[in-house]
Amino acid sequence: MAHNQESPPFRAEHVGSLLRPAGLLEARRRFARGEVDRAKLTAAEDRAIEEAVRLQERVGLRLATDGEFRRASYHSYFYGQLGEISFEAPPDGGSGRGAQPVALIKSRIAWKGPIHAGDFAFLRPRTRALPKITIPGPCALHFRGGDAAVTAHAYRDVDAFWEDIVAAFRSELRSLAGAGCTYVQIDETAFAKFGDADVQASLRARGDDPDALIDKYIDITNRMLAGVSGIGMGMHLCRGNRAGQWHAEGSYEAIAEKLFNGLAIPLFFLEYDSERAGDFAPLRFVPKDKSVVLGLVSTKVNFLEGKSALKRRLDEAARYISLERLAISPQCGFASTEAGNPISPEMQEAKLKLVVELAQETWGTA
């Protein structure tokens, strides 16, 4: 894949969310108690986003997100704009494996107007970098509950649900393209979890065949992308990142061939920060016209990885896919929910800087 340095993927990437500053969290608490109005909260968000942009530019990144600072979590705001949708989140159990949230779908799904075009419009004039907008994936609702969650309240027919999902997501992508956004990342939590034997067992227990479900999710994603042009699309595959917890483990091997070849996505952000992700062998299935961002740096631990160890891991990956088609990033966002991961703001900055330095030393550019 010819590497245009003005367009994604950049050699140094990050997934999107950043730790919320204490002042923003306090403003949100005061808003929830009715002590400040929406305008005051928005002003606090604006200030925090401007500081997040400065952080990303300071470390040398060539893309910028708004840190997802206007959202309580990476998905809740987006889905909430499409209907009466929520997630029953299980209680936190400390670090380690967390239980999967379950989707509650109480209304038909419909796109009622731009969801993130305003976020893009705020971000674009405030950065010299390329603005990136992140959205949740179209399959997570179904993954978190299956047909039973779809038909419990709002739908009799699961096919109608899928038609609504495809139409809503496609409308949002077209709206972003119309606003001038050229870089969107889909955060899809379903695909990477198919490699986990426990997840496969729970899918079978609810009546889903994992292989057939992967095919369905690939088809839905491709239908969503059809007819959307002008946007560089990436997809982040996540195994769970709630307050430092994780939801699944297992190699990409079980899904790699189907996923990398079947999905109409040119860029994959893959978590490779721990042994739970398996080895790099599945990268042999990535076709020649697609790129991979290796998430080698963990957002879950409050210590800095060694650069020489990361370089060895890049060399290992390059045995299966050309270095020319690789980039590097942290493995996930720093705050998939506003509670944030158990690391300090100083460590967040150090990790982003490490990613940039590693990219510059490996490819001569970030």
> Is 11 a member of any domain?
no
> Is 314 a member of any domain?
yes
The SS3 of residue 251 is coil
> Is 9 a member of any domain?
no
> Is 264 a member of any domain?
yes
Task: Domain count for the chain, please give it.
Answer: 1
> How many other CB atoms are there within 10 angstroms of residue 207's CB atom?
9
d(CA 67, CA 100): 24
Strands 102-105 and 85-88: antiparallel
> Is 295 a member of any domain?
yes
Both structure tokens of 345? 């703001």
pLDDT of the residue at 2: 36
Helices (H), 16-157: 22-32, 38-59, 76-82, 117-123, 140-143, 146-151
Under-70 pLDDT residues of the chain: 1-5, 89-100, 239-250, 274-277
pLDDT of the residue at 249: 58
Both structure tokens of 254? 């079980």
Both structure tokens of 88? 């029953």
Residue 197 near residue 248 (C-beta atoms within 8 A): no
pLDDT of the residue at 36: 96
pLDDT of the residue at 197: 82
pLDDT of the residue at 171: 98
**CA neighbor of 240 nearest in space, from 306, 193, 283, 197:** 193
pLDDT in tens, 294-336: 999 999 999 999 999 999 999 999 999 999 999 999 999 999 8
CATH number at residue 192: 3.20.20.210
Domain that holds residue 223: 22-363
> Is 203 a member of any domain?
yes
d(CA 363, CA 326): 10
Distance of alpha carbon 288 from its chain centroid, rounded?
Answer: 23
pLDDT of the residue at 165: 97
Both structure tokens of 166? 């495809």
The SS3 of residue 12 is strand
d(CA 346, CA 217): 38
d(CA 6, CA 165): 32
> Is 83 a member of any domain?
yes
- Where would I find the beta strands (DSSP E) of the chain? 63-64, 85-88, 96-97, 102-105, 130-131, 133-136, 183-188, 232-237, 245-246, 267-271, 291-297, 326-330
DSSP state of 209: -
> Is 345 a member of any domain?
yes
Binning the chain into helix, strand and coil, the percentages to the nearest 5 are 45, 15, 40
pLDDT of the residue at 196: 81
pLDDT of the residue at 244: 45
d(CA 267, CA 233): 7
**CA neighbor of 102 nearest in space, from 68, 169, 152:** 152
Amino acid at the residue 359: A
